[in-house]
Amino acid sequence: MFLLLQPLALLFLTVLFLYPLFRHAYGEPKDCQLPPGSFGWLPLIGKTMSFINPHLSCTMGQFLEENIKRYGKIFRSHLFGHRTVVSCDVDFNHFILQNEDRLFEASYPVNIPKVLGDFTMLVMTGDAHKRIRGVALGLFSSMKTHEAATISDIDNIVVRLMDSWKNKKTLVLCDETRKFTFNVIVKHILSLSPEDPETVLLLDNYKTFMKGFVSAPINLPGTPFVKAQREHETRSWIRCLRSILRRQAKFQITNIVGKIRDRRRRQRIAAGGPEVDGRKDFLDLLESHGGLTEDEIFGLVIDLLIGGYETTAMLIAIIVKFVGNDPEILSELRAEHAAARKKKAGDEPLKWQDYKDMRLTQCLINEALRLGNVVKFVHRKAIKPVRYKEFEIPAGWKVLPILSGVHLDGSLHNDPFRFDPRRWQNEEVESARNFMPFGGGKRLCPGSDLAWLDTCIFLHHLLPKYSWKTQEEDDWPMSFPFLDFKKGLKIAIQPLSDPCPSQEQATS
Query: Distance between CA 462 and CA 183 in Å, rounded?
Result: 17
> What is the DSSP pairing of strand 398-401 with strand 170-172?
unpaired
Instruction: Kindly state the smallest distance separating residue 187's Cβ from ligand HEM, in Å.
Output: 12
Q: Which of residues 219-278 bind ligand HEM (CB under 6 A)?
A: none
| Residue 308 in the binding site for ligand HEM (CB under 6 A) | yes
Rounded to 5 degrees, what angle do the CA atoms 374, 442, 421 make?
A: 35
* Piece of 55-63, 309-317, 338-346, 407-415 that binds ligand HEM (CB under 6 A): 309-317
Torsion of CA 454, 459, 461, 462, to 10 degrees: 130
Q: Is 21 left (phi over 0), alpha (psi -120 to 50) or beta?
A: alpha
Q: Which is nearer to ligand HEM, 39 or 298 (CB)?
A: 298
Query: Distance between CA 178 and CA 94 in Å, rounded?
Result: 31
Query: Distance between CA 425 and CA 107 in Å, rounded?
Result: 36
User: If 0-12 CB within 10 Å is exposed, 13-18 middle and 19+ buried, where does residue 367 land?
Assistant: buried
Q: Strand, helix or coil at 127?
A: helix
Instruction: Kindly state the smallest distance separating residue 97's Cβ from ligand HEM, in Å.
Output: 7
Q: Which is nearer to ligand HEM, 335 or 412 (CB)?
A: 412
What track of x and - describes contact with ligand HEM for positions 362 through 391 (by CB under 6 A)? ------------xx--x-------------
Query: Which one of residues 44, 245, 335, 445 is an interface residue with ligand HEM (CB under 6 A)?
Result: 445
240 is in an annotated binding site: no
Instruction: Kindly state the smallest distance separating residue 256's Cβ from ligand HEM, in Å.
Output: 18
Query: Could you tell me where the beta strands, DSSP code E, fall in 324-476?
Result: 380-382, 386-388, 391-393, 398-401, 466-470
Query: Which one of residues 89, 296, 303, 484 is an interface residue with ligand HEM (CB under 6 A)?
Result: 303
Q: Which is nearer to ligand HEM, 67 or 107 (CB)?
A: 107
Name the phi and psi angles at 237, rounded to 5.
-85, 0
* Piece of 144-152, 259-267, 304-312, 392-400 that binds ligand HEM (CB under 6 A): 304-312
| Residue 447 in the binding site for ligand HEM (CB under 6 A) | yes
| Residue 106 in the binding site for ligand HEM (CB under 6 A) | yes
* Piece of 147-155, 215-223, 227-235, 305-313 that binds ligand HEM (CB under 6 A): 305-313
Query: Which one of residues 213, 438, 458, 468 is an interface residue with ligand HEM (CB under 6 A)?
Result: 438
Given a contact cutoff of 8 angstroms between Cβ atoms, the answer to whether 386 and 32 are in contact is no
Given a contact cutoff of 8 angstroms between Cβ atoms, the answer to whether 282 and 304 are in contact is yes
Instruction: Kindly state the smallest distance separating residue 271's Cβ from ligand HEM, in Å.
Output: 29
| Residue 450 in the binding site for ligand HEM (CB under 6 A) | yes
Q: Which is nearer to ligand HEM, 136 or 218 (CB)?
A: 136
Q: Which of residues 139-198 bind ligand HEM (CB under 6 A)?
A: 185
| Residue 313 in the binding site for ligand HEM (CB under 6 A) | no
Instruction: Kindly state the smallest distance separating residue 243's Cβ from ligand HEM, in Å.
Output: 21
Pick from 328, 352, 350: nearest CA to 339: 350
| Residue 483 in the binding site for ligand HEM (CB under 6 A) | no
Q: Give the interface size with ligand HEM as a residue count (CB under 6 A).
A: 25
Instruction: Kindly state the smallest distance separating residue 505's Cβ from ligand HEM, in Å.
Output: 29
Query: Which one of residues 192, 304, 319, 463 is an interface residue with ligand HEM (CB under 6 A)?
Result: 304
Instruction: Kindly state the smallest distance separating residue 475's Cβ from ligand HEM, in Å.
Output: 19
State the alpha helices, DSSP H only, in 146-223: 147-163, 173-190, 197-207
Instruction: Kindly state the smallest distance separating residue 94's Cβ from ligand HEM, in Å.
Output: 12
Pick from 456, 440, 447: nearest CA to 143: 447
| Residue 316 in the binding site for ligand HEM (CB under 6 A) | no
> What is the DSSP pairing of strand 490-495 with strand 466-470?
antiparallel
Query: Distance between CA 130 and CA 119 in Å, rounded?
Result: 12
Q: Identify the bridge partners of residue 55 per DSSP, sorted by sequence position.
A: 479
Instruction: Kindly state the smallest distance separating residue 457's Cβ from ligand HEM, in Å.
Output: 13
Instruction: Kindly state the smallest distance separating residue 215's Cβ from ligand HEM, in Å.
Output: 11
Q: DSSP assignment of 319-356, as one string?
A: HHHHHHT-HHHHHHHHHHHHHHHHTS-TTPPPPHHHHH
List of long-range contacts for 391-397, beta carbons under 8 Å, 24+ apart: 391/33, 391/34, 391/35, 391/74, 391/85, 392/32, 392/33, 392/34, 393/34, 393/35, 393/85, 394/29, 394/32, 394/34, 394/83, 397/82, 397/83, 397/84, 397/85
Query: Which one of residues 48, 312, 366, 467 is an interface residue with ligand HEM (CB under 6 A)?
Result: 312
Query: Which one of residues 76, 78, 133, 232 is an interface residue with ligand HEM (CB under 6 A)?
Result: 133
| Residue 210 in the binding site for ligand HEM (CB under 6 A) | no
CB-based contacts of 382: which residues, under 8 Å, 6+ apart? Answer: 85, 103, 104, 393, 394, 395, 396, 397, 399
Q: Which is nearer to ligand HEM, 307 or 416 (CB)?
A: 307
Please enumerate, by residue number, every residue annotated as part of a binding site.
445
Residues that bind ligand HEM (CB under 6 A): 106, 121-122, 133, 136, 185, 303-304, 307-308, 311-312, 315, 374-375, 378, 437-439, 443, 445-447, 450-451
Residues tagged in the binding site annotation for heme: 445
